[in-house]
Amino acid sequence: MAQIFPKWTNYLGPGTALAAVLLISGGTWFFWFYASPSFTDVGYRPVQPVAYSHKLHAGDLGIDCRYCHTTVEFAAAANVPPTRTCMNCHTLVKQDSKKLQLVRDSWKDKKSLQWTRVHDLPDFAYFNHSVHINAGVGCISCHGNVAQMEVVEQKKMLSMGWCLECHRNPEPNLRPVSEVTNMDWVAPANQAEIGKLLRATKNINPPEDCSGCHR
């Protein structure tokens, strides 16, 4: 009987096995990389309706974060300021700037500005700003150096694993509460000791249980 399969088909078996291994590991790597928040979320930098520059306000002018994000110390949410806050200065400063047209409209028509959320945790994660601020976790730890950002972008993964990293070992990220909003604060050489001390004095035991964030 005539051969229906040429000789090279002998390599099909091992070839297929090899391909399968490559495909599976390649696929895993693909998802590991492209479906991870470090790829999907970090660097998210939506265009905002008003070209507000944190670099100018928080960096160059040195306005404290809490001037606008007033509720950050005592509420779960660090609020986005009402138009009123903008108008506190901009009734006097840059009254005619074209960039501020939307803000003035909002003030005049009593209609809210609509910002696009950059740092967005899922709704089933109940994050509370105040408790982190009062524990001495700097803004910069999660938001990056906002004072250097012309347009705000997400710098950290904000994934659950990332949160847990710090909850398991908060010491490297602790600083005196007075320095929380200070973007230029540099961790001292003995951060390990200071972190331990801060943790002990403030009795910081970040929850690692599900109930810490989910309810």
Partner 1 sequence: MADLAQTATKALKEPAHHERLITGEPSFEQVTNAVSRVVESKTPKAWWVLFGISSSATLLLLVAIAYLFWEGIGIWGLNVPVAWGLAIVNLVFWIGIGHAGTLISAVLFLLRQRWRTSINRFAEAMTIFAVICALIFPAIHVGRIWVVYYIFPIPNQMGVWPNFRSPLLWDVFAFGTYFTVSLLFWYVGLIPDLATLRERATNRIKKIVYGVLSLGWYGGNKQWKHYEMAYLILAAIATPLVLSVHSIVSMDFAVSLLPGWHTTIFPPYFVAGAIFSGFAMVMTLAILARAAFGLKDIFNMRVLERMNLIMLVTGSMVGYAYAMEFFIAWYSGNEYEMFAFVNRAFGPYAWAYWIMISCNVIVPQFFWSKKLRTNIAFMFIASILINVGMWFERFVIVVTLSRDYLPSAWGYYTPTFWDIAILIGSFGLFFSLFLLFLRFLPMVAMSEVKGVLPQADPHFAGNKQAHSQAVS
Partner 2 sequence: MSKKNGDMKIKGKDYWRSLDQLADTPEFNNFLKREFPLGAAQFDNSWSRRKFLTLMGASLAMAGLASCRRPEEKIVPYVERPEEVIPGVPLYYATSMPFSDHAFGLVVESHEGRPTKIEGNKLHPSTLGASSAIIQAQTLSLFDPDRSKKVLKGQQEKSWNDFVLNWITAFEKFKENKGAGLSVLSGMFSSPTLSRLKKLFDKNFPKARWLTYEAVSDENIYSGTKAAFGKRYRPIYLFDKARVVLSLESDFLLTESDSIKNARGFAEARNVETEKDEMNRLYIVESGYSTTGANADHRQAFSSGDIGAFALNLANALNNLGVNVAGTSGQLVSDKKFKWLNELARDLAGAKGASLIVAGRRQPAAVHALAAAINDALGNIGKTVEYSEVSDTSSSDSAGLQSLVADMNSGSVSTLIMFGSNPVYDASSELGFAAAMAKVKTTIHFNDYTDETGQLTTWHVPKSHFLESWGDTRSYDGTTGLTQPLIRPLFGSVSESEMMGLLAEGKFTKGYDLVRQTWKNKNKGGNFESRWRKILHDGLEQKSAYKLQSPAVRNSVISKFLRDNPLTNSSGTSGMEIIFQSSPSLYDGRYATNGWLQELAHPISKLTWDNVAYLSNADAKSLGVKNSDVVKLELNGRSLELPVWIQPGQAKNSVVVELGYGRKGAFKVGDGVGGNVNLLKSSSTVGFATGLKVTKMNRTHALACTQDHWSMEGRAIVREATLKEYRQHPKFAEEAVKHKPLESIFDEHSYAEGYQWGMTVDLNSCVGCNACMIACQSENNIPIVGKEQVANGREMNWIRLDRYYSGDVEDPETVHQIILCQHCENAPCETVCPVNATMHDAEGLNVMVYNRCIGTRYCSNNCPYKVRRFNFFNYTKDYSEVEKMTQNPDVTVRFRGVMEKCTYCIQRISAAKIEAKNNGRKVVDGDITTACQQACPVDALTFGNINDAESRVSKKKKFNRDYALLSELNVKPRTTYLAKIRNPNSNIKKA
Q: Which residues bind partner 1 (CB under 8 A)?
A: 1, 4-5, 9-10, 13, 32, 36-37, 157, 159-162, 164
Name which of partner 1, partner 2, none residue 101 binds, using a CB cut-off of 5 to 8 Å depending on partner kind.
Answer: none
Name which of partner 1, partner 2, none residue 47 binds, using a CB cut-off of 5 to 8 Å depending on partner kind.
Answer: none
Check residue 43 and report its DSSP letter: T
Check residue 177 and report its DSSP letter: G
Burial annotation 159-183 (CB, 10 A radius, 16+ → b, else e)? beeebeebbeebbebbbebeebbbb
Does position 30 interact with partner 2 (CB under 8 A)? The reply is no
Q: Binder to partner 2 among 113, 146, 180, 183 (CB under 8 A)?
A: 113
Indicate left, alpha or beta for 75 from its phi (over 0: left) and psi (-120 to 50: alpha). Answer: beta
Does position 88 interact with partner 2 (CB under 8 A)? The reply is no
- The answer to whether 45 touches 146, Cβ cutoff 8 Å, is no
Name which of partner 1, partner 2, none residue 1 binds, using a CB cut-off of 5 to 8 Å depending on partner kind.
Answer: partner 1
The rounded distance, in Å, linking the Cα atoms of 69 and 107 is 18
Binding letters toward partner 2, positions 126-165, x by CB under 8 A: x-x-xx--xx------------------------------
Least Cβ distance, residue 99 to partner 2 (angstroms): 18
- The answer to whether 45 touches 149, Cβ cutoff 8 Å, is no
Which CA distances in Å does 145 have to 57, 154, 155?
13, 10, 9
Least Cβ distance, residue 212 to partner 2 (angstroms): 8
Tokens standing for residue 209: 């249980």
Does position 7 interact with partner 2 (CB under 8 A)? The reply is no
In the complex, the residues that contact partner 2 under the rule CB under 8 A are 40-41, 46, 71, 73-77, 79-84, 106-107, 110-117, 120, 122-124, 126, 128, 130-131, 134-135, 202, 205, 207, 209-212, 214-215
